[in-house]
Amino acid sequence: MTEDRNAAGRRTAILPPWVGTAALALVALVALWFCVRATLFRSLEQEYPLFGQAISPPSPVSQALIALNRASARDGTADPLARDLLQSALRRAPLLADPFTVAGLDASAHDDFARAARLIEESKRRDPRAVIPRYWLFDNYLRSGDYARGIAEAGPLIRIQPAAEPAAVAVLTALLQVPAARPALASALRASPVWSRAFFSQATASPSLRDPAAALLRSITPDDRASTGQEQITVMRAMIGAGRYSHAYTLWLRTLTPDKRPQTPGLFDGGFTGHTEAPPFGWRFPGANDGGMQVIAASDSPSGSGLAIRSTGERARVLAEQLVLATPGPLHLRFATRALDEGVESSAGLKVELRCGPKGKALASQVVETFTSRLEAHNLATTMQEGCGAVLVRISIAPSSEPGPVYALLTDMALQRQ
């Protein structure tokens, strides 16, 4: 007995050490092959269901997809073969979603929309990323007047299928013309869905939808805090481009906190008190990137502050501008300037002008070339024309014949009727 064990030990010992390593590697390769094979078959079944049907036994996924393709080719009607495939697929894989999609499409093709909705909702529950159920539910709910449920499908549909966004947004913007759908739209937009920017961009591109879009945006914008979302900017720009300045102004007010909102329309922050960037009906500073502008305290000004301008003055450029609501008639722009007490004498000037709207012609302009150590008041008078709706106040550098710097303070700006 001892000799037999010793002999067996000697026989084991004569095996090369690499044999065990090779055996483990072979087992790993076989396991990897089965994993790759299963993954490949699943992928092929999705793309080519007939491939899966040719495998013995046929895959439930392949059976369901073949049935879905047959029903889709027949306007949603499931023929006897499709039904047999679905029954077989469900028996073998009870959690599949596609059989419910096919059954729902079949019910829809026979005008049983209530049953169709139940079946396709179940399909969506089983496979939330399936595209066909989302499309069908989005369309069906909107057609049947269930706007809240239909609109709720838009976001998931676009996330799953980004290429669907243009068509889905076109349908949603068309709902602006359906009064019964607007409350559901407002409720959905308060949650800032993925399609909100595209919605307002497309809506404001249509002249007939601009006003409803603006009204909808006003209804969902909180009144007790500033709202500066991209949707707000999109609609404001569209309204200004269409000459609807009063609508744009109402939206602009919502971009300010309640304590900063003016009580009546007029030139905003004429003393440059520090509430700087608030376009379009507040100051915009195109020249800020070049430096040389700063809000500073000015004890000699009624406003208590002003815009300190330090510029080389070598070229004409816009420093600041603001759109102001106005009605036809005489207008006076009053403002004050003085030199900055920094020992630098200005040789270039400041040009202040009034223009008809953001892209209209100039109504009046004045160049201030001399700046003294004391505040000097100025008055620029013009007549607002019919059709302007708003006046653009623009401040720019006015280069002199001999290029030189501008060191000046601008403050106490006000646009008045007389």
Q: What is the largest CA-CA distance in the chain?
A: 126
Query: Could you say which DSSP state residue 79 is in?
Result: P
Superfamily classification of domain 45-260: Tetratricopeptide repeat domain (1.25.40.10)
**Residue 1 banded pLDDT, cuts 50, 70, 90:** very low
pLDDT of residue 294: 86
pLDDT in tens, 32-71: 444 544 454 445 444 444 444 444 456 666 666 676 666 6
Q: What pLDDT score was predicted for residue 65? A: 67
pLDDT, tens digit (0-9, with 9 covering 90-100), for 376-386: 999 999 998 88
Distance CA 227, CA 219 (A): 12
Name the strand (E) or helix (H) holding 275.
none
| Higher per-residue confidence, 64 vs 329 | 329
More confident: 69 or 291 = 69
- What does the pLDDT read at residue 281? 93
365-376 burial by CB neighbour count: b if 16+ within 10 A, else e?
ebebeebeeebe
pLDDT at 56: 46
Q: For tokens 């301008």, what's the residue? A: 309
- Alpha carbons within 13 A on the beta-carbon side of 107: 18
Res. 7 pLDDT band, cuts 50 70 90: very low
CA distance 260 to 227: 13
Of 347 and 411, more confident: 411
The pLDDT of residue 89 is 65
- Sheet strands side by side (includes 362-368): 318-325, 390-398, 349-356, 362-368
Helix (H, G, I), strand (E, B) or coil at 270: coil
Give the per-residue pLDDT at 226.
64
Q: How confident is the model at residue 19 (pLDDT cuts 50, 70, 90)?
A: very low
Give the contacts of 135 (CB within 8 A, at least 6 positions apart): 157, 164
Say which CATH architecture domain 286-416 belongs to: Sandwich (2.60)
Angle at 204 between CA 203 and CA 205, to 5 degrees: 90
For residue 342 the two structure tokens come to 């920094």
Q: 163-202: per-residue pLDDT in tens? A: 999 999 999 999 999 999 999 999 999 988 999 999 999 9
Q: What pLDDT is recorded for position 46? A: 46
Q: What's the alpha-carbon Rg for the chain, to the nearest Å?
A: 36
CA dist 246 and 253 (Å) reads: 11
Q: How far is CA 76 from CA 26, 65, 67, 88, 287, in A?
A: 49, 13, 10, 19, 62
- The single residue listed with the structure tokens 């073998």 is 92
Fold agreement between 45-260 and 286-416: no
Q: How far is CA 223 from CA 115, 217, 233, 259, in A?
A: 43, 12, 16, 12
Stretch 256-260: mean pLDDT, rounded? Answer: 84
For the chain, the domains span 45-260, 286-416
Nearest to 165 by CA among 155, 176, 175: 155
Global confidence as pTM: 0.69
What is the C-alpha separation between 104 and 122, in angstroms, rounded?
A: 9
Query: For the chain, what is the mean pLDDT?
Result: 80
Burial of 79 (0-12, 13-18, 19+ CB in 10 A): middle
pLDDT score recorded for residue 355: 94
Predicted confidence at residue 13, as pLDDT, reads 45
Write out the two tokens for 160: 């799953």
pLDDT of 233-249, one tens digit each?
Answer: 888 889 998 888 998 99
Q: Which residue reads 């914008």 in tokens?
A: 221
Average pLDDT over residues 198-221: 90
pLDDT given at position 122: 87
Model confidence pLDDT, tens digit, residues 303-322: 999 999 888 766 778 899 99
